[in-house]
Structure 1
Amino acid sequence: MPAKSKAQQKAAGAALAAKRGEARKSDLQGASKEMYESMTEAELEELASTSRKGKPERVGDK
């Protein structure tokens, strides 16, 4: 499942870094914290590896 926005891709990247031990879990907030708790490392990697080119900053942006 590819990311739908740049913000979603960035949040997944932050959650993935924490899941791998490259960042602290306590630094996560908002969507990245929820992603950390509810998604597997493989799911986070898939979202985080999505290209940002052509994506809106947020889903509601045009």
Structure 2
Amino acid sequence: MLSPRAAGPLVVPLPQAPLVTGLSRTAIYRAARKGQIKLLKNGRSTLVDMASVRAFLDSLPTA
């Protein structure tokens, strides 16, 4: 059984999300607006739900 940490973080702060996901900040906001990526608020911080990012990336066609 994998530990939760081995699977990667559950959420990533928005400023770090482009480095972790390979998506631009604009692409993240665009996908969130379409309901494809889930953004969460914790106080003033915006967090990107990595499960929704993985699902979004899995839904993209192969090149």
Instruction: With the length of structure 2 as denominator, give the TM-score of the two structures.
Output: 0.27
The structure with more radius of gyration = 2
Give 1 or 2: higher strand fraction: 2
